[in-house]
Amino acid sequence: MTIRVTLFDAEGRDRDLNLADMNVSRLGESHLLWIDVEGRAEGEVRAVAERLGLPREVTEDLLDEVEEPHLHLYSDFFTLDVRTLEERGGKLENVEIDFVAGRNFVLTVHPCPVAFLQAFREQQRGDTDLGALSSSAFLAALLDWLLGGYYRTIDTMEAELDRLDTAILAKGMPDDDLLTRIVRHRRRVSDVRTALAAHREVFAALARPDFWFGQQGAASVHFVALFSRFERTLSAVEDARSLVIGTFDLYMARSAERTNDIVRVLTIATVLLGLGAFVSGLFGMNTGEPWENMGVRGFYRVLGLILVLAALVLVFARRRRWW
């Protein structure tokens, strides 16, 4: 369990606070308080909620895991539940993040480290002007970083699909391995799309006038822009799914080409064997012809004829690029 309290002061120095030193009532217009709670230990979550003066039902929501993202409006604050994707052991894991945004404060609660929140902190060096932001604008910035995490996941998948296309064209890997990788990418794209699409109603609600009317109105511009970015992110996921389908089509085309190559080789082999059988049968007929009494020399002559015919067939096939 980790609680980190950061006070952004536009007129002074940004600094970390202890939970005991946190007093929301003393925050001014140039202050913004970010309380980041990593883990869902009940005692610590209740302590933070009590310091912020949150109702009991909100505290219970912070402690409980819910299945779908949601947005709840209260008189002087609102709560938001979203999902991010974290890489765990080669798999994408859904991580729930709860936000509470009130006057001059933002609370985030999540069960484990979250990459985009850590990246946001690492970007802040020294004193900043974040204290001048409203809590809604600050939340919009964090949600933009959330969407950026989805974008990075998509970029990684697209780079892997490019390498997979190259491997398919180079014939450098077994077919089973190629197909396994394609199936894995298809599942990853499906997981990303399912996780992201579940946020459509939440991001749309943030951009609607009935949400920001009476709140910090200037933040409405940020939420409208955020919804546009959400739509572009979802479109990028659809493009990634099309790339997976294109990779599978390339794999099938390559497999069909290999099947044709095998069929050509088998056809040539069949022709060669058929010629040998034809010539052998022709000279083996009991019709009293002179070549039936040629002895060993006759055998080698027939064998030579078969080899010459086979060589002619191979030359013809090679010129036609059948093998």
Question: Would you state the pLDDT for residue 229?
Answer: 93
Question: Would you state the pLDDT for residue 277?
Answer: 76
User: CB of 213 within 8 A of CB of 73?
Assistant: no
**HSE toward the beta carbon, residue 283, CA cutoff 13 A:** 20
Question: Would you state the pLDDT for residue 289?
Answer: 57
Question: Would you state the pLDDT for residue 144?
Answer: 93
**HSE toward the beta carbon, residue 189, CA cutoff 13 A:** 23
The DSSP bridge pattern shows strands 70-73 and 91-102 to be unpaired
Structure tokens at 264: 């050509």
Question: Would you state the pLDDT for residue 30?
Answer: 86
SS3 breakdown of the chain: % helix, strand, coil, rounded to 5? 65, 15, 20
Residue showing tokens 């994707």: 85
Q: How far apart are CA 323 and CA 310, in angstroms?
A: 15
The DSSP bridge pattern shows strands 70-73 and 77-88 to be antiparallel
Domains of the chain, by residue range, sit at 1-132, 259-319
What is the CATH T-level fold of the domain 1-132, as seen in this structure?
Answer: Beta Polymerase; domain 2 (3.30.460)
- Spell out where the chain has E strands: 2-9, 15-17, 31-38, 70-73, 77-88, 91-102, 105-110
Question: Would you state the pLDDT for residue 298?
Answer: 65
What backbone phi and psi angles, to 5 degrees, belong to 101? -120, 120
What backbone phi and psi angles, to 5 degrees, belong to 199? -90, 0
Question: Would you state the pLDDT for residue 142?
Answer: 93
Question: Would you state the pLDDT for residue 127?
Answer: 65
* Nearest CA-CA partner of 145 in 187, 108, 193: 108
Structure tokens at 37: 């709670």
Question: Would you state the pLDDT for residue 269?
Answer: 78
| Single-letter amino acid code for the residue at 307 | L
* Nearest CA-CA partner of 5 in 27, 30, 37: 37
Q: How far apart are CA 234 and CA 228, in angstroms?
A: 10
Question: Would you state the pLDDT for residue 283?
Answer: 66
Question: Would you state the pLDDT for residue 80?
Answer: 92
Transcribe 40-87 into DSSP letters. --HHHHHHHHHHHT--HHHHHHHHS--SS-EEEE-SSEEEEEEEEEEE
Instruction: Give me the torsion for CA of 159, 164, 166, 167, rounded to 10°.
Output: 150
> How far apart are the two ends of the chain, measured CA to CA in Å?
66
Question: For residue 213, what is the DSSP state?
Answer: T
Question: Would you state the pLDDT for residue 126?
Answer: 67
Question: Would you state the pLDDT for residue 219?
Answer: 65
Question: Would you state the pLDDT for residue 202?
Answer: 92
Structure tokens at 216: 């910090």
pLDDT tens for the chain, residues 1 to 323: 688 888 888 887 888 888 888 888 788 888 889 999 998 888 888 988 888 889 999 989 888 887 789 999 888 889 999 999 988 877 888 899 999 998 889 999 998 889 999 988 888 766 678 888 888 889 999 999 999 999 999 998 889 888 888 888 886 555 778 888 888 888 889 999 999 999 999 999 888 877 765 555 566 788 888 999 999 999 999 999 898 988 888 888 887 777 777 777 777 777 777 777 777 766 666 555 555 556 566 667 677 777 787 787 777 777 777 66
Question: Would you state the pLDDT for residue 227?
Answer: 92
| Single-letter amino acid code for the residue at 38 | E
Helix (H, G, I), strand (E, B) or coil at 16: strand
